Amino acid sequence: MAAPQTLFDKIWNSHLVAVQDDGINLLYIDRHLLHEVLSPQAFEGLRMARRPVRRPGATLAVADHNVPTTDRTLGIEDPESRLQVETLSINCKEFGVPLFDMLDPRQGIVHVIGPEQGFTLPGTTLVCCDSHTATHGAFGALAFGIGTSEGEHVLATQTLRTSRPKNMRISVEGKLSAGCTGKDLILAIIGKIGTAGGTGHIVEYAGQAISDLSMEGRMTVSNMTIEAGARAGLCAPDEKTYAYLEGRPMAPTGAQWNQAVAFWRTLKSDPGAVYDKEVTLAAADIAPQVTWGTSPEDVVSIDGAVPNPADAGTEAKRAAMQRALDYMGLQPGTPMTDIPIDNVFIGSCTNSRLEDLRAAAAIVEGKKVAAHVEAMVSPGSTIIKRQAEEEGLDRIFTAAGFEWRESGCSMCLGMNPDRVAPEKRCASTSNRNFEGRQGRDARTHLVSPAMAAAAALAGRLADVRELE
Amino acid sequence: MEKFNQLNGVAAPLDMINVDTDQIIPKLHLRTIKRTGLGKVVFEELRFNTDGSEKPEFVLNREPYRNAKILVAGDNFGCGSSREHAPWALLDFGIRCIISTSFADIFYNNCFKNGILPIIVSKEELDALMGDAGDTDNPELTIDLEAQTIRRPNGPIVSFTIDEFRRECLLEGLDDIGLTMQKVDKIGEFEVEQRQSQPWLYNQG
C-alpha cells in the first residue's frame, strides 16, 4: 500500500519524466506563461541554438510590466520599454507563441489573465519567469516562479531540472473577522513565519478560513506565498474552483469538462499525509494588517504601532529594523493610524480583481479622497476593467477623486511611468514594500483594497472597521 | 557557461540580512534585452546617489573591494523577485562566488545557471569569514569547488557541502538544455501518456 501523499506530492509525482541518482528531477511542465521583461534572453538563447518552442499550445504571453496605464493607443514613450514590448511581439511571432499584446482586449497582468482565460487548471504544473506565479496555486496547480535560463529550458524541452521541495501546511481555522480579507490573512501569515519561513518548501493552505475564501481571495493568499520564501502555495480545488473555471475560453468543455472535473476531485491530500512543517493560525485573531517597514514580514495590525528596534531578538534584526525605520521615515511607537499618506494604489496581481474593486468602491462611494492624496486604480485586466465599468465602479472611483487607469503591473514596481516620488508614502494593494520598489526612495505600506480605500479618504493609514 | 574550479580573490563584506533582488538590481534595468552590461548598476541604489555620484560608505565603492570576486552576505540573500538579472549583474561586476548562511530558492537556482557558486555556511563560519573580508589589508579568500573548501588568510579552512550534480555542472560548465535533450524520447513518451489521461491539456496543441 502506497504511503499517503499530499496534494503537492500527487502533482509532482505524476509529472516526473526522470529522476537522477543525485535527486535532480526532470519535471514536465503543462503550462508556461511569459511576459516581456524576463523572456527576451530566453528567446535569444533558443534562437542562437536554433531550437524551436516545443509546445506553443501550452504557452501564453502577455505584455504587462512596461505598458502604460494611460491611453495606450499613443504607444510607449520610453524607448527601452517600447523595445522590450516590441521584442516580445517579434519573439512570439517567430516562435508561434500565442500573445495578448498591449491593445488586445484580453490583455492584463499575467497572473490575472491566466485564470481568467482558463489557461490555469487544477493538477497542472505551471511556471513563469516571475515570482508571483505562486498566484495560480489557488487553483490547485503546482505553480511557481523560475529564472530566465530555466524559462529557456522550458521553452525548448517543456521540462524543468529541479530538486524536490519539502511539504509545508499552513492551516487557518475559524472565520475571518469583519473588515479582514485574504490580504490580511496572508500578511499575518508572513508576519508570523517571516520572509524565509517557507524557503525550501511548497505550502498547502488548509482550514475553514481558506475554503471560505472566494477564488479571488485564494489567489491573493497564494500570490504572496513567495514573500514567505515558499515558491508555491496550493489550495485544493473544490466546487468554487470548478464554478470559476467553467465556460472560460481555454477551459475544457462537454465530455472533456466532466472528465476533467472527475480528475480534479481527486486532487486533495490523503488523510495521514505527512508534512515537513506545519503552522496553524486562528483567523479570528487577525485584524486588518499594514506593513511598517521594507519587508513584507514587517507587519502589524492597523491598531498597533511602529515597533522598536531595541526589542529585536538579534543584532542583525535590530540593524535591519533600524535601517527600515530610517528609510521609511518612521519613529518607534507611532500609532499606525497617525501615519499620513501621499499616494494610494489599488492594483497589482495581488489585489486588482473585480471583488477587490467592488470592496474598495463600497468604501469610497459618495465620499472624497483627501485633498493631498493622489489615488489611482489599475484593474488587473482589460476584461475586469470592462466588467467594472458595466457595474459603474469606474464612476464611483472617479467621482471620489481616483484616477481610473488601464491594466498593467503599474505602480506595484513602477517599470512603466507609474511611480511613487522619493520619500512619498503610498498605501498599496501590491505585494512588496522593498526599498525602491515603487520608485527610488519611495515608501510603501501594503494593505488590502478596502484598507487602501479607507486610507485614501482619511489621508492617512486608517482602520477600515472604524469608518462610518 | 564558464567552468568554475578554483577562485582566488577579494571578498567584500555585505553585513545585511534579507538583501532582496530589487536592491541587487532595480527594476528600471530589467528593460535590457541582454544578459550582459549590468555590472555597472549592481546594487545601484545602495551604491550611487540620485545624481550618479558614488556613496563612499558602500563596500563596493571602497578599496580593495572594487575588484571583489566574492561576496560575504547575511541571511536569506537574494529574496524577493525571481529576476535573473540579479546574478547577471553580480557576474558582470565580477562576483563569481557568494557566501551566506542561507539563500532564497529562486536566486540560488539562478546562480548555478550562470556559473556563480553560492555557498552555505554556519553562522559561526559566516562571522569568521565576514571578519576576514573586513580586513582591508588582506581580504582574499580561495574557493576550491573540487575540494569543497574555503581557504582563509588566517584561521582554519572552512569546508562546505554542495549538491553533487550542481557541483559537476559548474566544474564542467555544462549546458542544462543539451543535457536534457539527451532524454527527449522520455519527454515524448510522457506526452503520449498524458494526452490519453488528460486530453484537455492538449486542446491548444
CA distance A466 to chain B (A): 33
A260–B176: do the CB atoms touch at under 8 Å? no
DSSP bridge pairs for B54:
B48
Q: What stretch(es) of chain A map to CATH 3.40.1060.10? A: 166-238+269-285
How far is Cα of residue A359 from the mean position of the Cα atoms in its chain?
18
- A364/A374 Cα distance (integer angstroms): 14
Is B74 in CB contact (< 8 Å) with chain A? Answer: yes
Q: What is the pLDDT of residue A458?
A: 98
How far is Cα of residue A450 from the mean position of the Cα atoms in its chain?
17
Q: What is the pLDDT of residue A200?
A: 95
**What is chain A's pLDDT, residue by residue, as a tens digit (468 residues)?**
689 999 999 999 999 999 987 778 999 999 999 999 989 999 999 998 889 999 999 999 999 998 999 999 999 999 988 999 999 999 999 999 999 999 999 999 999 999 999 999 999 999 999 999 999 999 999 999 999 999 999 999 999 999 999 999 999 999 999 999 999 999 999 999 999 999 999 999 999 999 999 999 999 999 999 999 999 999 999 999 999 999 999 999 999 999 999 999 999 999 999 999 999 999 999 999 999 999 999 999 999 999 999 999 999 999 999 999 999 999 999 999 999 999 999 999 999 999 999 999 999 999 999 999 999 999 999 999 999 999 999 999 999 999 999 999 999 988 888 999 999 999 999 999 999 999 999 999 999 999 999 999 999 999 999 986
Q: What is the pLDDT of residue A468?
A: 61
Chain A residues within 8 A of B74 when measuring between CB atoms: 316
Q: What is the mean pLDDT of residues B88-106?
A: 96
Angle, in degrees to the nearest 10, between helices A354-364 and A449-458: 30
**pTM confidence score:** 0.90
DSSP bridge pairs for A61:
A34, A99
Superfamily of domain B6-174: Aconitase, domain 4 (3.20.19.10)
Annotation: CATH topology of A7-164: Aconitase; domain 3 (3.30.499)
What are the counts of helices (DSSP H) followed by strands (DSSP E) for chain A? 15, 19
Is B123 in CB contact (< 8 Å) with chain A? Answer: no
Closest CA to A48 of A94, A96, A99: A94
- A463/B43 Cα distance (integer angstroms): 36
Instruction: Tell me how far apart the 2 most distant CA atoms of chain B are, in Å.
Output: 66
Q: What is the mean pLDDT of residues B56-72?
A: 96
DSSP bridge pairs for B151:
B142
Q: What angle do CA A79, A81, A85 make, to 5 degrees?
A: 115
ipTM of the complex: 0.91
CATH number, domain A166-238+269-285: 3.40.1060.10
Closest CA to A116 of A386, A376, A396: A386
How far is Cα of residue A449 from the mean position of the Cα atoms in its chain?
14
What are the counts of helices (DSSP H) followed by strands (DSSP E) for chain B? 8, 7
Is the CB of residue A290 less than 8 Å from the CB of residue A452?
A: no
Q: Dihedral (C-alpha) A440, A446, A448, A450: value to the nearest 10 degrees?
A: -70
Q: What is the pLDDT of residue A55?
A: 98
Q: What is the pLDDT of residue A1?
A: 61
Is the CB of residue A108 less than 8 Å from the CB of residue A388?
A: no
Place of cell 486588518: A288
CA distance A330 to chain B (A): 20
Q: What is the pLDDT of residue B32?
A: 86
- A65/A415 Cα distance (integer angstroms): 6
Is A65 in CB contact (< 8 Å) with chain B? Answer: yes
Q: Around Cβ A50, how many Cβ atoms within 10 Å?
A: 6
CB nearest B33 (choices: A41, A227, A295): A41
How far is Cα of residue A61 from the mean position of the Cα atoms in its chain?
17
Between the CA of residue B144 and those of A54, A107, A368, B167, what are the distances in Å?
38, 49, 64, 11
For an interface test with A, the pick among B108, B120, B177 (most A C-beta atoms closer than 10 Å) comes out as B177
- B46/B14 Cα distance (integer angstroms): 11
Which strands, in side-by-side order, build the sheet including A16-19? Answer: A16-19, A25-28, A159-162
Is the CB of residue A159 less than 8 Å from the CB of residue A191?
A: no
Tell which A residues from 161 to 190 touch B, by Cβ distance under 8 Å: 161-163, 165
Residue B101 has pLDDT above 80, yes or no: yes
How far is Cα of residue A259 from the mean position of the Cα atoms in its chain?
30
- A246/A230 Cα distance (integer angstroms): 29
The Cβ-side half-sphere exposure at A356, using a 13 Å CA radius, reads 34
Closest CA to A106 of A440, A330, A435, A384: A384
Residue B20's SS3 state is strand
Count of residues for chain B? Answer: 205
Is A436 in CB contact (< 8 Å) with chain B? Answer: yes
CA distance A62 to chain B (A): 15
How far is Cα of residue A195 from the mean position of the Cα atoms in its chain?
15
Is B109 in CB contact (< 8 Å) with chain A? Answer: yes
* Cα first-last separation, chain B: 33
SS3 letters for A12-64?
HHCCEEEECCCCCEEEECCEEEEECCCCHHHHHHHHHHCCCCCCHHHEEEECC
- A420/A344 Cα distance (integer angstroms): 10
In single-letter form, the type of residue at position A295 comes to: S
- A103/A210 Cα distance (integer angstroms): 36
DSSP string, A66-85: S--SS-GGG---SHHHHHHH
Q: What is the mean pLDDT of residues B119-126?
A: 97
Closest CA to A347 of A419, A449, A425: A449
Residue A276 C-alpha cell reads as 515537513
Q: What is the pLDDT of residue B11?
A: 98
CA distance A459 to chain B (A): 28
Is the CB of residue A378 less than 8 Å from the CB of residue A69?
A: yes
Closest CA to B118 of B143, B92, B135: B143
- A226/B80 Cα distance (integer angstroms): 7
Q: What stretch(es) of chain A map to CATH 3.30.499.10? A: 7-164, 289-466
- A396/A389 Cα distance (integer angstroms): 10
B105–A165: do the CB atoms touch at under 8 Å? yes
Is the peptide bond between B64 and the residue preceding it cis, with omega within 30 degrees of 0? yes
Closest CA to B159 of B167, B171, B147, B169: B147
In which band, very low, low, confident or very high, does the pLDDT at B33 lie, cut at 50, 70 and 90?
confident
Q: What is the pLDDT of residue A441?
A: 95
- Strand (E) positions, A79-141? 99-100, 125-128
Q: Around Cβ B168, how many Cβ atoms within 10 Å?
A: 12
Place of cell 572552512: B158
Q: Name the architecture of domain A289-466.
A: 2-Layer Sandwich (3.30)
Domain extent listing, chain B: 6-174
Closest CA to A467 of A307, A360, A331: A360
Is the CB of residue B110 less than 8 Å from the CB of residue B48?
A: no
